[in-house]
Amino acid sequence: MDVRGKTIVVTGAGRGIGRSLAQHFAGKGANIGLLDTNADDLAATRDQCAQTGVIARSYLADAANEDSVVGALDQVTGDFGRLDGLINNAGIVRDAMLVKVKDGQVVGKMTMAQWQSVIDVNLTGVFLCAREAAQRMITLTGGGVIVNVSSISRAGNAGQTNYSAAKAGVAAMTVVWAKELARYGIRVGAVAPGFIRTPMVAGMKPEALQKMTSPIPLGRLGEPEEIAHAVGFIFENDLFTGRCVEVDAGLRM
């Protein structure tokens, strides 16, 4: 896909990888619909994208809420008249061990709130946004590209029962939708980042971060722009569908 003049929606676009994705595609000449739950961050991303001369609009929306997603995508198609791309980037972490044991005693568990909040945003949110985007791509545009942000944690990362389950689900849904939507001219891909320098990672405890990053073969965190570059490849390569690109500095779970 030549993204110039196309309309691309990015969820979780207020900061981190989402902001980089928005800047990357705005820099390539795409008009951008930005979804996030943080109004101030959204406005900052929108203003940065608009500086490139494209149309950038922000929509306060919760990717995990059906009414919110439907309403936001209705607004996007009302404003832009078309939808060519969706990047399902919004995601959260609520890490905990399944059971936490100290001195032979179970002193904690992953709570239902930790489990459900991550499943709601990282799995249900991806499903809802993709469903609503696919409907609009078929009826308005006759095709498009959907890219889901998974994670290397989809292989199973200790302390991330909820996150690993959601990200494995995201990778599986990518394959399902690639098969279901190809007949409508929609390609679906995924990227699985390793550890990327964003506010999400900055929020980790230093000792946990050190433990997780020390085995990285390239010896450094990734930059958000390096993930945006990989997503750009998926958009631009018309043979790409149903696969997940690993961008992880060689780290394996």
Q: Which residues are catalytic?
A: 163
Distance CA 253, CA 238 (A): 30
23 part of the interface to ligand NAP, by CB under 6 A: no
Least distance from ligand NAP to the Cβ atom of residue 4, Å: 25
Closest by CA position to 121, among listed 91, 162, 87, 160: 91
Distance CA 61, CA 178 (A): 26
Greatest pairwise CA separation for the chain in angstroms: 61
Residue span binding ligand NAP (CB under 6 A) among the ranges 2-10, 47-55, 86-94, 207-215: 86-94
Closest by CA position to 85, among listed 242, 244, 229, 232: 232
- Residues within window 105-134 making contact with ligand NAP, judged by CB under 6 A: 121, 125
41 part of the interface to ligand NAP, by CB under 6 A: yes
53 or 193: CB nearest ligand NAP: 193
- Per the CB < 8 A criterion, the answer to whether 212 and 195 are in contact is yes
Interface with ligand NAP (CB under 6 A), residue from 8, 32, 36, 83: 36
Interface with ligand NAP (CB under 6 A), residue from 34, 35, 134, 178: 35
Letters for 172-211 (x = contact with ligand NAP by CB under 6 A, - = none) are: ---------------------x-xx-xxxx----------
Distance CA 35, CA 89 (A): 10
Interface with ligand NAP (CB under 6 A), residue from 7, 10, 14, 87: 14
Interface with ligand NAP (CB under 6 A), residue from 3, 9, 15, 241: 15
- Per the CB < 8 A criterion, the answer to whether 70 and 136 are in contact is no
Least distance from ligand NAP to the Cβ atom of residue 11, Å: 5
- 184 pairs with which residues across the strands? none
Distance CA 90, CA 125 (A): 8
- Per the CB < 8 A criterion, the answer to whether 20 and 49 are in contact is no
7 part of the interface to ligand NAP, by CB under 6 A: no
Instruction: Write out the residues near ligand NAP by the rule CB under 6 A.
Output: 11-12, 14-18, 35-38, 41, 62-64, 89-92, 121, 125, 149, 151, 193, 195-196, 198-201
